[in-house]
Structure 1
Amino acid sequence: MESERPNTTIETYKELQQQEDDDEEEEKNNEILKRRISSHPLYGLLVEAHLDCLKVGDISNLERELKIDEMQAAEKQNLGMFSQSELDLFMEAYCMALGKLKEAMVEPQQKSMAFINNMHSQLREITKPTLPAPPSDTASSSECKFRRN
């Protein structure tokens, strides 16, 4: 039983070393991918589309969520293995997706603003101060008689 123990330790060490090597390789691939994406001709458009989505409303939490989603997607897929044409397709698709996201966010916001503005106008109409009707001559004369008595 003691003879199995050193082998298990050696195997465990080899597994840990392999895991570290795999992690280093994945980190290198991610860094290469980041450099390729940031130097891609569509990168500026991608950033602009992303910022347009953030400008639609106060969605500061969305930026954090998007970063988390991007990191999770990168972990799930080995994006470092993209060929240049696959990267081009990815960048185009991502820009289009962000454009569609912005449109999807703008439409409900515009409808909401139109509804709010309409309600505001109606409330102004309802609460508009009404001017009292000018008193008629008969009412004023009877009022005067009442005061004299």
Structure 2
Amino acid sequence: SSCSPSSGAPAYSFMEINHQNELLAGGLNPCSSASVKAKIMGHPHYHRLLLAYVNCQKVGAPPEVQARLEETCSSAAAAAASMGPTGSLGEDPGLDQFMEAYCEMLVKYEQELSKPFKEAMVFLQHVECQFKSLSLSSPSSFSGYSLSKSLYFL
């Protein structure tokens, strides 16, 4: 079957074989891991989970990376939607609880990641306002002040 690793199969990368060995050592069947992934992807909250994860990845990323992340999220959501939800809320209360908790955790994480960027933006806007107020002041008042002070010290 496609879930059973063969010792010399070139189709499996080192990471896949290592992952399967860890699953087997932990008492988990790789097929059950694929089944869990399918259940998560078919869950009604999968799109919300995916969006929360991508929003975390976008924090502080350059615009071109953010655009790629949004494209990837859209295509993954479209692929999951084309499969249709394989489960419904209440069918697996444990999975429902996991999806809710993980979504909430990712939203809070994104908020915490965003705080320093928001604080920096507020600071830079404040500095920009100060520069604008300095540049809007009449140049004659500055030059007159400097000239009168210079004459005073002569």
Larger Rg: 1
Higher relative contact order at CA 8 Å, sep ≥6: structure 1 or structure 2? 1
* Structure showing the higher helix proportion among its residues: 1
Give the TM-score, by structure 2 length: 0.48
